[in-house]
Amino acid sequence: MGLSFQGPSPEPPNRQPRMHNVIPNSKVYIAAFHRRGLALGVEIRTGAAATALSRDAAGCVSRVRFAWRGTEHEVEATRGVVLACGDYAGSYEIKRRYMPEAVARIEGVNPTATGEGHVLGLAIGGTVRNMDVLYGPELRFVTPPGRAFAQLLPSDPRLARLAARLLPVVPKRLLVAYVKRLLVTWTHPDDKLFAAGAILVNREGRRFCNELDRPYLEFFDQPARVGYLVLDAKLAAEFSAWPNYVSTAPDIAYAYLADYHRLRPDIYHEGATAEALAAAAGLPAEALRSTLDTARRYHEDAVQAGDPFGRTRWLAPFTRGPYIALGPARAYIVMTEGGLVVDEQLRVLSDAGDPIPGLYAAGCNGMGGMVLMGHGLHIAWACTSGRLAGFHAAQASRG
């Protein structure tokens, strides 16, 4: 279909390089499938939300009801229905059924992942598994204003093939520069920042959590649900060079504070004093100064108890500026791992373990029993399961 890949690249903890990255970015998957579908005569309708499935007299799933342009429609499925609607990280109602409230209320990084396929499958008699398993929660910085550089790259397959041929001869420093731009836009800050002594403050300039114990659970109750990572000069120096990075694509590129300063000036704030930092980050000066003074006392006195949030490890003293704040950051659930249980033909199974005639599930909808932790595995499963589900639906007979 015209896609080109760069790789294999190292993917720890695997012993051998195995990661392949599509060129120029993952939006080309959608573009390629779109072009191929149109060439095959597929009718694609966007904004057409499926609302219900129904069976025929023989018990086979044979109709899909959907809303489109303000009107209810129904289409007949002569071979079968494939559910391929994504995960449910953005659905509070689904998450709260299977997860603790403190986790369920955390928003999904993809707000359109609202679990319609899971709901449709359950309503027609399917069963689910691993609905409490998820990737995250984790902290991520807010995305920059406007469209990110990677999203501006063309998805034309001819340009992608040209880029694939040129990539092996591109100087490594240019490739690293490109990856660093992605790192400071999409990845989360490493937990080592907190272990080394960084603190989190809210928009009121006050600490609100134990930074070493699931801090993401406390973001929901903060103003605007955001926080800022604060470092002093000693910490800033530590996270300006290997082995202390802010974010990483293992064995490819590492982003340090200087990279955030250069590439994300919208979330990088610096000040020689607490007051100057507050002015740069738009935080209340008096509250932030009080917060940093308290953190300094904990550090200097090696306090092992007394922190209202229960933190007992204070390694790096907040004794001198300049101070740096990174933020705003938010807590997100990246992806949920639960899905409808399927058999080898991607047919959805009932509670009794029997295939539901005419109903198939692919991608995140057909993941019941699988947990895919690693870069690229969900894309691989989406493409593989979608192809197999479509193949078996096409081969099905109504008898």
Claim to verify: residue 279 and residue 366 sit in the same structural domain: no
Q: Which helix (H) or strand (E) holds 255?
A: strand 253-255
Among residues 194, 319, 187, which one has the least CA distance to residue 244?
Answer: 194
Claim to verify: residue 216 and residue 291 sit in the same structural domain: yes
Question: Using an 8 Å Cβ cutoff, are 30 and 44 in contact?
Answer: no
Question: Mean per-residue pLDDT for 76-104?
Answer: 95
Claim to verify: residue 177 and residue 326 sit in the same structural domain: yes
Residue 176 binned pLDDT confidence (cut-offs 50, 70, 90): low
Question: Using an 8 Å Cβ cutoff, are 316 and 298 in contact?
Answer: no
Q: Which helix (H) or strand (E) holds 248?
A: strand 247-249
Claim to verify: residue 197 and residue 263 sit in the same structural domain: yes
Q: What is the pLDDT of residue 317?
A: 64
Sign of CA dihedral 14, 375, 327, 90: negative
Claim to verify: residue 326 and residue 365 sit in the same structural domain: no
- Answer whether residue 16 is part of any domain: no
Q: What pLDDT digit, counting tens, does each position of 261-275 carry?
A: 999 999 999 999 999
Residue 256 belongs to a domain with what CATH number?
3.90.700.10
Which domain-ending residue is among 294, 317, 332?
332
Contacts of 387 (CB under 8 A, 6+ apart): none
**Residue 86 structure tokens:** 């994504």
What is the distance between the alpha carbons of residues 16 and 8, in angstroms, rounded to a whole number?
9
pLDDT surpassing 70 at residue 375: yes
- Answer whether residue 10 is part of any domain: no
Among residues 392, 347, 344, 391, which one has the least CA distance to residue 365?
Answer: 347
Q: What is the pTM of this model?
A: 0.85
Query: What Cα–Cα distance (Å) separates residue 125 from each residue in 122, 199, 228, 356, 390?
Result: 5, 48, 45, 8, 21
Residue 172 binned pLDDT confidence (cut-offs 50, 70, 90): low
- Answer whether residue 3 is part of any domain: no
Q: Provide the domain limits for residue 117.
A: 45-137+335-395
Q: What is the pLDDT of residue 338?
A: 95
Which domain-ending residue is among 278, 311, 332?
332
11 phi and psi, to 5 degrees? -140, 80
pLDDT surpassing 70 at residue 208: yes
For residue 243, whether the previous peptide bond is cis, meaning omega lies within 30 degrees of 0, is: yes
Q: What is the pLDDT of residue 329?
A: 97
pLDDT surpassing 60 at residue 155: no
pLDDT surpassing 90 at residue 105: yes
- Answer whether residue 165 is part of any domain: no
Residue 55 belongs to a domain with what CATH number?
3.50.50.60
Q: What is the pLDDT of residue 285?
A: 97
Question: Using an 8 Å Cβ cutoff, are 212 and 313 in contact?
Answer: yes
Which domain-ending residue is among 332, 350, 385?
332
Alpha-carbon torsion angle 137, 314, 239, 375, nearest 10: -20
Claim to verify: residue 347 and residue 257 sit in the same structural domain: no
pLDDT surpassing 60 at residue 9: yes
Claim to verify: residue 318 and residue 344 sit in the same structural domain: no
Q: Checking phi first, is residue 251 left (phi over 0); if not, alpha (psi -120 to 50) or beta?
A: left
- Answer whether residue 54 is part of any domain: yes
Total domains present in the chain: 2
Question: Mean per-residue pLDDT for 280-295?
Answer: 94
Q: Which helix (H) or strand (E) holds 141?
A: strand 138-141
- Answer whether residue 290 is part of any domain: yes
Q: What pLDDT digit, counting tens, does each position of 16-37 carry?
A: 888 888 887 788 888 888 888 8
Contacts of 187 (CB under 8 A, 6+ apart): 140, 247, 248, 249, 255
- Longest Cα pair distance anywhere in the chain, in angstroms? 79
- Answer whether residue 150 is part of any domain: no
Q: What is the pLDDT of residue 298?
A: 75
pLDDT surpassing 60 at residue 257: yes
Claim to verify: residue 121 and residue 199 sit in the same structural domain: no
- Amino acid identity at 234: K
Question: Using an 8 Å Cβ cutoff, are 89 and 367 in contact?
Answer: no
| Lowest model confidence (mean pLDDT) among 149-163, 194-208, 223-237 | 149-163
Claim to verify: residue 127 and residue 101 sit in the same structural domain: yes
Sign of CA dihedral 257, 263, 268, 273: positive
Question: Mean per-residue pLDDT for 288-299?
Answer: 86
Claim to verify: residue 199 and residue 293 sit in the same structural domain: yes
- Answer whether residue 157 is part of any domain: no
Alpha-carbon torsion angle 110, 2, 81, 123, nearest 10: -10
pLDDT surpassing 80 at residue 96: yes
Question: Using an 8 Å Cβ cutoff, are 368 and 346 in contact?
Answer: no
Neighbours of 212 (CB within 10 A): 14
154 phi and psi, to 5 degrees? -70, 150
Among residues 239, 254, 389, 241, which one has the least CA distance to residue 324?
Answer: 239
Claim to verify: residue 380 and residue 315 sit in the same structural domain: no
Question: Using an 8 Å Cβ cutoff, are 357 and 167 in contact?
Answer: no
Claim to verify: residue 363 and residue 328 sit in the same structural domain: no
